[in-house]
Amino acid sequence: MAPLERRGSALSGKGGNQQDVQIRVLACSVGLVIALAPLASFADETPGSHLQAELDNAAAQYALAQQQVDELQAQANLSAQNERTIALLKSEEFRVHQLDVSANGMAIQQIGQALANAIRQQGEVSARNELAIAQIKASALVVRADSNLANALARPRHRDQELAGAVKFPAPPG
Amino acid sequence: MTSAKLNAADRAGDANSHGIVEAANGSAMGANDLFAADFVLQAGQLAATSSTISVSAKQAGIISHAAASLKNAQAMAANSTKLPPGA
């Protein structure tokens, strides 16, 4: 306080110094009242009302927690149902693919079987055709041999020699 | 048996065996798909159960905390009523 007193006396003399001190005392008092105001409110609150407020707060928090639990349960149910649905859709996709693959394999097998049957029938037809061609060739050879034999029998000269040559089958043409 | 029949039988056998192999391959791939389908179903069921269990633990934590707070407040209130006035 000494420097302030000295400054006050330097500015406005002894009367000004006392006025500054009063203003400071007033400011300190106002500050003290403002700072201690919460204590007054605490003092107004009785212990019973505070405990009742705590009880009400706890009950409200419990109700809120129960509501939160219900919301979590609903969300979990939805999530579980979502997981099951996704799994079911994926499973259905795999099963459809399984059916496609199996049906494709069976179809290829049936096609292969039909192709094998067709090839066998074609081989049968080819064999019969080749047999018919061979029979035609054989009959032509027989006819030729018969004609040669008849020609040889019709000739008077060198009968034995020609007979001997006629019975020999000539070489097939080509 | 003639050459044509033998050749045809050989080719027919090849075609038939190729079809049989394709069918067996299709069946094997189908079995693999079936296994994958079952696996995916079980995985989905497991994920659903996991979600339920996880949420149950969280729910238990929340509700137990709230219940403890409520019990504490009730105990404090009961204790205050037992005290003599002015204590």
Q: Give residue-wise pLDDT tens across range B6-64.
A: 999 999 999 999 999 999 999 999 999 999 999 999 999 999 999 999 999 999 999 99
Per-residue pLDDT reduced to its tens digit, A20-45: 888 888 888 888 888 887 766 666 66
User: For the residues A150-158, what does the mean pLDDT come to?
Assistant: 75
Residue corresponding to tokens 């094998």: A116
B-chain residue closest to A127, CA distance: B4
Residue A154 within a domain = no
Residue A119 within a domain = no
B72/A108 Cβ within 8 A: no
With beta carbons less than 8 A apart as the criterion, state whether A98 and B33 touch. Answer: yes
pLDDT at site A9 = 47
- Number of domains forming the structure of chain A: 1
For testing the chain B interface, which of A83, A96, A111, A135 should be mutated: the one with the most B CBs within 10 Å?
A83
Residue range(s) defining the domain that contains residue A32: 1-36
Residue A100 within a domain = no
Residue A64 within a domain = no
Taking contacts as CB-CB distances below 8 angstroms, the residues of chain B near A59 are 70, 73
Taking contacts as CB-CB distances below 8 angstroms, the residues of chain A near B15 are 112-113, 115-116, 119
B8/A120 Cβ within 8 A: yes
Mean pLDDT of chain A: 83
pLDDT at site B85 = 55
B52/A55 Cβ within 8 A: no
What is the reported pTM? 0.59
Selection from A77, A75, A70 nearest residue B66 by Cα: A70
With beta carbons less than 8 A apart as the criterion, state whether B55 and A76 touch. Answer: yes
Residue A146 within a domain = no
ipTM attached to this prediction:
0.76
Report the residue from B44, B58, B72 with minimal CB separation from A83.
Answer: B44
Q: Which amino acid is at A2?
A: A
Residue A112 within a domain = no
CA dihedral A33→A38→A40→A42, nearest 10 degrees, is: -170
User: For the residues A116-131, what does the mean pLDDT come to?
Assistant: 94
Start-to-end CA span in chain B (Å): 123
| Chain A residues 101-140 within an 8 A CB cutoff of chain B | 101-106, 108-113, 115-117, 119-120, 122-124, 126-127, 130-131
A49 in contact with B, Cβ within 8 Å: no
A54/B41 Cβ within 8 A: no
B37/A95 Cβ within 8 A: yes
A90/B44 Cβ within 8 A: yes
pLDDT at site A166 = 67
For testing the chain B interface, which of A49, A75, A90, A135 should be mutated: the one with the most B CBs within 10 Å?
A90
Residue A30 within a domain = yes
Residue B78 or A93, more confident: A93
Residue A23 within a domain = yes
